[in-house]
Amino acid sequence: MHLLLLGRGKTGALVAEIARQRGHQITVLGAAENPQGSALTEDKLQGIDAVIDFTTPHAVLPHIEACVRAKKNMVVGTTGWYSEIPRVQKLVEAQGGALVFGANFSVGVNLFFEIARTAAAALQHQYQGQIFERHHIHKKDAPSGTAVALRNVIRESSGSELEITSFREGEVVGLHELTLDSPADKIYLCHDAKSRHGFAEGAVRAAEWLAAKRGFFDFKDVWRQL
pTM of the predicted model as reported, rounded to 2 decimal places: 0.86
For the residues 203-226, what does the mean pLDDT come to? Answer: 94
Residue 53 has pLDDT above 90, yes or no: yes
- Check residue 36 and give its pLDDT: 86
Amino acid at 125: H
Q: Pick the closest to residue 191 from 107, 88, 120 (CA basis).
A: 107
Q: pLDDT of 178-189, one tens digit each?
A: 999 999 999 999
Cis (ω within 30 of 0) for the bond into 143? yes
Q: pLDDT of 58-107, one tens digit each?
A: 999 999 999 999 999 999 999 889 999 999 999 999 999 999 999 899 99
Q: How far apart are CA 12 and CA 22, in angstroms?
A: 15
Q: How far apart are CA 114 and CA 189, in angstroms?
A: 11
Amino acid at 137: I
Which residues are designated catalytic? 135, 139
Q: What is the mean pLDDT of the chain?
A: 95
Q: Pick the closest to residue 10 from 101, 100, 102, 139 (CA basis).
A: 139
For the residues 144-163, what does the mean pLDDT come to? Answer: 96
Phi, psi of 207 (to 5 degrees): -65, -40
- Check residue 141 and give its pLDDT: 86
**DSSP codes, 72-103:** -EEEE---S-GGGHHHHHHHHHHTT-EEEE-S
Helix locations, the chain, DSSP H: 10-21, 57-69, 85-94, 107-119, 145-158, 197-210, 219-222
* Helix (H/G/I), strand (E/B), else coil: 224: helix
Q: Pick the closest to residue 138 from 34, 11, 2, 22 (CA basis).
A: 11
Other C-beta atoms closer than 10 Å to the C-beta of 190 total 11
For the residues 53-60, what does the mean pLDDT come to? Answer: 93
- Check residue 71 and give its pLDDT: 94
- Check residue 194 and give its pLDDT: 93
Domains of the chain plus CATH, in order, are 2-105+197-225 (3.40.50.720), 107-192 (3.30.360.10)
CA-CA-CA-CA torsion for 122, 108, 214, 18, nearest 10 degrees? 170
